[in-house]
Amino acid sequence: MVPPPSSSSSQKEAGNTSFEQDALSVILVTAGYDHTIRFWEAWSGVCSHTIQYNESQINRLSISPDKKLLAVAGHNTVRLYDCHASAAAALNNTDNAGRGSNVPPVATFEGHTGNVTSIGWHCDGKWLVSGSEDGTLRIWDTRTSRSQRVYDHQGAVNDVVIHPNQGELVSCDQNGSVKVWDLGENGCSHELVPEEEVPMRSVSIASDGSCLVAANNRGNVYVWKIQGGAYADDGTPQVGESPNELTDLQPVTKFRAHNTYITRCALSPDARYLATCSADTTVKIWSTAQYQFKLDKVLTGHQRWVWDVAFSADSAYLVSASSDHVARLWELSSGETMRQYNGHHRAAVCVDLNDSSLET
């Protein structure tokens, strides 16, 4: 993420360039219970445009890897919006109350029968996965808007992520289960239940596929090492010797991160840090070095529950969304708030940030 523009005259010119780059390269979006999706200029803190989402509250946001589409999880449905077309439309169609435009989605995925709580994109954007309180995971073909697969989770799904190998899913549910789904075998390959009947709230996988983290309603975090491999004819594991990797999970540690509900856990893109956010109004940053998970910083400033977080691509910044109606941009080296994003009229419960380079 580009550093904030400076105040000196010579640096103001560079700052203007940064703002232009910002608009093109950084997509930051928040949403919540006020039925409004807000797109932000990350460094200026200005809301560039909004989309009205009148169908329901918004539970989760996910920007496509190519930054073209925004997936929005609501009640029963997932809708896709064109990030750039919505900006143009919003300039012309703001309603009299200034609430933004009723931009039509480019696609709607229907099939869930409860709140959609989580969504994730395939690396090429060909499909996405959703999890719902109806107890199912669904994989959607983004070209046809049809559900390709449905997996019965046997419990309300709270979160789902795609393994970096793109061949497995990891999800968690209200019953306390963490499940690994092998897309090649088309079924559940592992089930972990760290604490019986304690809802597992959130899961995250390291970008290098080395580590799985899960957090629950009691404020506990569980960590597993992930070892990929295959099995020889005699049944012995052959770790890393086959392209058809099979995930082997080895428990590493458990620690109390918060004294109340954890709402989200997220490993940084460089896998050096874990962020946890909570009903206790804080975001905590943990060092993952040697799997010790030592507390590095406590980010304070929000006044109510913090529901969601998203890292910048360089792992130097974090954005958080809270019931206090505000989203914040944090500089992790200092632990300070760099920007506040004000404009939501009710709880802001989800945020996503995509500032990654699309260069190959």
- Beta strands at 200-205 and 187-192: parallel, antiparallel or unpaired: unpaired
The string of pLDDT tens digits covering residues 265-282 is 999 999 999 999 999 999
| C-alpha span between 17 and 53 (Å, rounded) | 33
| C-alpha span between 346 and 118 (Å, rounded) | 20
Q: How many CB atoms lie within 10 A of CB 358?
A: 9
What residues contact 8, with CB distance under 8 A and at least 6 apart?
A: none
Read off the pTM.
Answer: 0.88
Kindly state the helix (H) or strand (E) to which residue 93 belongs, with its residue range: helix 83-93
What residues contact 248, with CB distance under 8 A and at least 6 apart?
A: 226, 227, 228, 229, 237, 239
Q: Which strands, in side-by-side order, build the sheet including 348-354?
A: 47-52, 36-40, 27-32, 348-354
Q: Residue 102 has what pLDDT?
A: 81
Tokens representing 353 are 């940030």
Lowest mean pLDDT among 17-21, 98-102, 224-228, 341-345: 17-21
List, as one string, the DSSP characters of 7-70.
SSHHHHHHHHHHHHHHHHH-EEEEEETTSEEEEE-TTT--EEEEEE--SS---EEEE-TTSSEE
The string of pLDDT tens digits covering residues 21-38 is 444 589 999 999 999 999
8 A C-beta contact, residue 135 and residue 153: yes
Give the mean pLDDT of the chain. Answer: 88
Amino acid identity for residue 202 in this structure: S
Whether domain 23-354 has CATH 3.10.580.10: the reply is: no
The string of pLDDT tens digits covering residues 47-101 is 999 999 998 999 999 999 999 999 999 999 999 999 987 666 655 555 444 455 7
Residue 50: phi, psi to the nearest 5? -135, 160
Q: Residue 84 has what pLDDT?
A: 85
Tokens representing 98 are 């200034």
More confident residue, 229 or 84: 84
Tokens representing 192 are 């972990």
What residues contact 59, with CB distance under 8 A and at least 6 apart?
A: 73, 74, 115, 116, 117, 349, 350
- Beta strands at 237-239 and 211-216: parallel, antiparallel or unpaired: unpaired
Nearest Cα to Cα of residue 276 among 290, 296, 292, 291: 296
Q: How many CB atoms lie within 10 A of CB 300?
A: 12
pLDDT surpassing 70 at residue 232: no
8 A C-beta contact, residue 350 and residue 58: yes
Q: List, in sequence order, every residue forming a beta bridge with 328; answer none if it has no partner.
A: 320, 340
8 A C-beta contact, residue 307 and residue 323: yes
Amino acid identity for residue 208 in this structure: D
**Burial class (CB within 10 angstroms; exposed 0-12, middle 13-18, buried 19+) of 94:** middle
